[in-house]
Structure 1
Amino acid sequence: MSTTSAEYEFQRFWLPRTESRQSVRRLLTDAAEYEGWELARLRLFPDGRRRITLRRRIIRVRRTL
């Protein structure tokens, strides 16, 4: 029995506290809908900054001859 583990690529970035909750939601929704990213982690710091980690699955195509 073989198991396949998914491989992901990650994108990490910071958003300043001046970004509204609505604009952050729009940014993450667009990234998910149009680029295939999903939210892996979001950390909200006491000073209002957000550290966001997005991930998406790497799809590899196997060629057979």
Structure 2
Amino acid sequence: MVHDDAWYHSTMISSRQTLAAAEIAKAAGQTLGLDTPVGHRLAWGGAFLERISLDALASAELWRDLPP
């Protein structure tokens, strides 16, 4: 049996883990320098992952009580 909140909890855990990876990528980009190609890519990628993770977290909260 799958718990009713399994999809919600799975989305929340995954999004939080991706958000943590985004923070690491952004910090690495800063460390390497935003004026370097790799630093710029890491910072941009981190910002992208941060945005979609925050969107997923907000969406999961919004739709948590979606009727079956």
Q: TM-score, with normalisation over the residues of structure 2?
A: 0.28
Is the strand fraction higher in 1 or 2?
A: 1
Structure with a larger share of its residues in helix: 2
